[in-house]
């Protein structure tokens, strides 16, 4: 897990490992999540969330939360972005940045979104941000440890299940 302060609070320059996003690329992704947040449709919660998903082939696909008068039908920003990406043929991702209006807290993805993100691998990065651009970087595996994923469905099972199941 990496925590980086905003430029206004003094940038903490981190060592660059190969394959990781540059500070610039991260800030840009966060800005795209913040821009997506502007489109949030959240008349009920008034809690805006934006997400920006970076695909393996360097496309950025964004999403915002979309609520509904039938409250339980609302869609989170992260899930919206992932569904958009998959419907456009992208299933491999490098990172997702999440933005909200919470000043004091890094926006943390809900449990359902963690599982949705995990569907596409445990070894990619989630940037939880604040409006000032500071962020916390966590891997999918850190956000959802000991997770259940598509691999489990193809593992060895007990097959003598009684008929009533």
Active site residues: 78
How many other CB atoms are there within 10 angstroms of residue 29's CB atom? Answer: 26
* Interface with ligand THU (CB under 6 A), residue from 26, 34, 99, 109: 109
Written as six digits, the tokens of 125 are 């990065």
Six token digits for residue 127: 């940037």
Q: How far is the CB of 80 from ligand THU (least distance, A)?
A: 8
- Using CB under 6 A as the criterion, what x/- string covers residues 55-94 for binding ligand THU? ----------x-x------x-xxx----------------
Site string for ligand THU, 2-41 (x = CB under 6 A): ----------------------------------------
Residues 6+ apart with CB under 8 A from 162: none
Strands 125-129 and 93-100 come out as: parallel
Chosen residue from 7, 47, 68, 92 binding ligand THU by CB under 6 A? 47
Closest separation between CB of residue 124 and ligand THU, Å?
A: 17
Dist. CA 116–CA 124, nearest whole Å: 13
Among 12, 16, 38, 45, binds ligand THU (CB under 6 A): 45
Looking only at the bridges linking them, the beta strands covering 125-129 and 135-139 are: antiparallel
Q: 23 — phi, psi (to 5°)?
A: -55, -40
- Shortest separation between residue 37's beta carbon and ligand THU, angstroms: 9
């Amino acid at each position: 897990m990496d925590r980086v302060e905003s430029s206004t609070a003094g940038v903490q320059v981190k060592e660059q490992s190969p394959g990781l996003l540059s500070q610039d690329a991260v800030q840009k992704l966060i800005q795209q999540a913040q821009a997506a947040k502007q489109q949030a449709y959240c008349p009920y919660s008034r809690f805006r969330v934006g997400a920006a998903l970076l695909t393996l082939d360097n496309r950025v696909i964004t999403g915002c939360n979309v609520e509904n008068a039938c409250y339980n039908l609302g869609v989170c920003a992260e899930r919206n972005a992932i569904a958009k990406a998959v419907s456009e043929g992208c299933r491999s991702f490098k990172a997702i940045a999440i933005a909200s209006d919470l000043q004091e807290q890094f926006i943390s993805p809900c449990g359902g979104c963690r599982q949705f993100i995990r569907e596409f691998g445990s070894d990619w990065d989630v940037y939880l941000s604040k409006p000032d651009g500071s962020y916390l970087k966590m891997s999918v595996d850190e956000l959802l440890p000991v997770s259940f994923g598509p691999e489990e469905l193809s593992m060895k099972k007990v097959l003598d299940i009684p008929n009533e199941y």
